[in-house]
Structure 1
């Protein structure tokens, strides 16, 4: 019988062979081996990222009431939308239907070509933005290691400046090497390590905040409504912009909808993928929310309304310096893995498009080009993959050097993706799949949820753009 086989270069060919269910899945592709553990690791790697570092700052803008409420609301929305999205991996039936290998394919299957193109614009724009954001964050953490040692040796009152640009280059070199991993399915080990690192630096941050509170003499100021006009901020407009940006920061701390379908495509077919994915989402979002709430609440209690934008690099705490260093190393290791989790789907779609567009071009399709060292981990790759993926890392690194603004970038990424990728498309696909009648109670409630989240994204985007503009007016590139 004829089955579809996917080559390393992304092209698909049909081969006549006897179907072996022990080797191939129902779509003719090599047997998937993902489990509840591996997909949960992927989710935690994608979710618990650099966003956790800005939560104490976000709570400082929102205060004791709105901060926890905003965090819980976004976590519940994230879990709810992920359950809708998990059912869209197969179409039209969520258990026996045809597989959708990417988020874009799922949107195309349920919503058609126009929304498919909109989804592609949002999703791949997000992948580029997150690569930039992670490069900035990793370089800040590497620079903070040098600064913490400077403060330890020379005293806390000394001005210890350290440029982040050299560390962006170091991070880029690492990503150029790791980007030659063939595809998303080969990332399980890297994701598990990255997930463990995310737990490590979140716990270190919590420990440092608790130690600051326990040390006594903590004269920080906290309020029910966050930063106060005339005290921490100069005007009502600045207060509004900061609140808006903080919503974007919290939203950015929860993004994984952009790679949920790609993660689900790594799962074994039994038990049904959507069932396992819903369990993994529940576990991942629950663990994440617990950590986030602890980081936000304890971080705000420790640093108050003057909480730094990044609580491990803002030096609200200086000692023990070695623990700060360990925490920042964990951040870097985590971001090395998270960068690949978000970049591999983008690499794949560009390579697939090029193979389909120029199937006879040997530069694109030939696998006799370059062999990466340590063949125990990587196979021979095409010259096109080597050049294209290297170019992607270089370009995102250059943009990071021009706009190295952590809080503003995280807020903007969250604002731009929270509604379209995390709420709008999952809701619309679910309405089509479930054949929900227009203007029924369920239809009305889901539409209201979608438009409410759209409003949050717009408000958060305005705040982040204002913050970015404000930072740019004071910044000299490469200075």
Structure 2
């Protein structure tokens, strides 16, 4: 493949390369609307769904249901805002989240406001998915070959990381469409298994199941509630890659990319509503306040079905990891090529992507606190990019009339999102501290 490069003088007097036709996000713009659907299903219906019954056990039936429904409504609305803002300036596309931030808040402030938040979401997702992939694969082997249960979780996470070294060499976002489609199918598959298996076991084996919240103390209940809210926030993470997904869709003045993108988002959010509602309710109903932070761990019979579900999770997070990591690769490669003047090509990708995957893998191996990580990262990073940052951008750029629908909806989302971002990390940190007391590194 040949790449036309535009050399422009940068502010330091050097030469800057325009590598847009080589970078992972903008190299290929021939995606179909259904690519958007399964990319978004892969991004949104992720490992966070396995923690929803646990979140319900921390928040209770009523509060958990309210938080889950509000999160779906708010993030569905903010997703629409991002899709609309992708091409709100005629003849220009905001292919990356930081580029939209620069338009809204200025070249320097916008970049440094948005880029760290988006990067934090994608790094956090990579860490959690490394933990999830390793634990799910271990559980699968334990059920099929019990002798494998003696092996450390570290080895299974390491195997997941080794696979990512290979898959991470996919050149651009569109080249992941097959991986993403498979991941989307797997996510629907293990959600269905979690629902049906929980329901069946709940019908036949509910003796001694109690509800309410997990902690017996008031302080513990408060921390648990905050962590549960963060876990639910983590389950709505697709916004951090939405502009990058839309960037792969072709666009013309007669047929802007937003139509195809929104069709895919609607399909994805219908899947989200069905999967999240059924898994969270069935899992909590079947196991009550003693449900595990990964609901599949609570499922015990039949062994082959639970093993299949865990394998589906493993396959899913392989693809979902890539969907969230590709924008990180894009940022790294854009900086190295356009700012540092390095030659674009396979050697650059092999080196920089391998270093990143190795670093994320090391952190995953070191601190596999699944439940606490969901709560901590969900509130600390995900609330901003999914709940209130799109609304702030909408208010800044469109300036809706005070008390109008979009003004009111945006402010409600901003207030609730800020509360989530401020409070839920406290619960996640508490959960990790409690787990840390009985944890040894690289176990």
User: Could you tell me the TM-score, scaled by structure 2's length?
Assistant: 0.90
Deviation (angstroms), 1:63: 1.9
State the alpha-carbon separation in 2 of the partners of residues 440 and 149 from structure 1: 58
Aligned length: 426
Contact 2:392 2:414 in 1 (8 A): no
State the alpha-carbon separation in 2 of the partners of residues 234 and 60 from structure 1: 12
1:365 corresponds to 2:343: yes
Partner of 1:288: 272
Partner of 1:88: 85
1:453 corresponds to 2:417: yes
Unpaired stretches in structure 2, ≥5 consecutive residues:
8-15
Partner of 1:303: 287
1:174 corresponds to 2:163: yes
Deviation (angstroms), 1:445: 5.2
Please list the CA deviations of residues 84-143 of structure 1 after superposition, one character each: whole Å capped at 9, or x if unmatched. 111111242xxx340111111111112212132121111112211111110000000011
1:57 counterpart (31, 54, 57): 54
1:184 corresponds to 2:173: yes
Partner of 2:110: 115
Partner of 1:139: 134
Contact 2:57 2:290 in 1 (8 A): yes
2:386 counterpart (422, 446, 460): 422
- Residues 58-67 or 244-253, more deviating: 58-67
1:45 corresponds to 2:34: no
Distance 1:445 1:302, change over 3 A: closer
Contact 1:11 1:352 in 2 (8 A): no
Contact 1:107 1:425 in 2 (8 A): no
- Aligned counterparts, 1:368-383, within 5 A: 381=346, 383=347
Distance 1:141 1:440, change over 3 A: closer
State the alpha-carbon separation in 1 of the partners of residues 115 and 155 from structure 2: 33
SS at match of 2:395: helix
Q: CA RMSD in A?
A: 2.5
Distance 1:329 1:13, change over 3 A: closer
Partner of 1:255: 237
Distance 1:272 1:118, change over 3 A: same
- Residues 300-309 or 443-452, more deviating: 443-452
Partner of 1:336: 318
**Which is helix-richer, 1 or 2?**
2
Contact 2:27 2:172 in 1 (8 A): no
Distance 1:304 1:87, change over 3 A: same
Distance 1:433 1:5, change over 3 A: farther
Deviation (angstroms), 1:424: 2.7
- Residues 67-76 or 278-287, more deviating: 278-287
- Residues 191-200 or 284-293, more deviating: 284-293
Deviation (angstroms), 1:164: 0.7
Deviation (angstroms), 1:441: 7.7
Contact 1:11 1:356 in 2 (8 A): yes
